[in-house]
C-alpha cells in the first residue's frame, strides 16, 4: 500500500518503496502496515538500518540527503538498489541464473 514504483526517482521519495522492498525479504523486521508516507525521515532511517543490519548493505545513502531533496536522484537510488540486490544474492536470498 502507498507504493507504486514507476521509476528510480519520485517513486522512492517517501521511503516506503525501500521499506516495502526490505519488508518482502525480512517481514519480521518491522510492521510495514504501520508506516506513513508522510514520515519520510523515519521511513528512510528504518529502511537503511534494516538493509545494513539484515542484508549487510553498505550505507550508500544518507537519510538527511534523501529528505532534503523532494525527489531523490535516480542514479543514487539505482546504485543503492543494485548494492542491496548484490547483498541479498550474497546472503542466498535471491537466486540468480548461472550463465
% of the chain beyond a pLDDT of 70:
99
The H or E element spanning position 88 is: helix 74-90
pLDDT band (50, 70, 90) for residue 97 = confident
> What pLDDT does residue 25 have?
97
Task: Dump pLDDT digits (tens) for 37-78.
Answer: 999 999 999 999 999 999 999 999 999 999 998 899 999 999
> What pLDDT does residue 99 have?
62
Task: Dump pLDDT digits (tens) for 23-40.
Answer: 999 999 999 999 999 999
| Domains within the chain, CATH numbers bracketed | 10-91 (1.10.418.10)
CA atoms within 13 A on the CB side of 54: 21
Q: What is the maximal distance between C-alpha atoms in the chain?
A: 43
Amino acid at each position: 500500500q502507498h507504493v507504486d514504483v514507476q521509476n528510480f526517482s519520485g517513486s522512492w521519495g517517501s521511503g516506503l518503496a525501500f521499506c516495502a522492498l526490505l519488508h518482502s525479504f525480512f517481514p519480521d523486521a518491522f510492521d510495514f502496515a504501520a508506516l506513513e508516507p508522510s514520515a519520510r525521515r523515519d521511513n528512510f532511517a528504518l529502511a537503511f538500518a534494516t538493509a545494513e543490519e539484515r542484508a549487510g548493505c553498505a550505507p550508500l545513502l544518507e537519510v538527511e540527503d534523501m529528505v532534503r531533496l523532494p525527489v531523490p536522484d535516480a542514479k543514487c537510488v539505482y546504485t543503492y538498489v543494485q548494492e542491496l540486490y548484490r547483498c541479498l544474492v550474497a546472503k542466498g536470498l535471491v537466486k540468480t541464473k548461472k550463465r
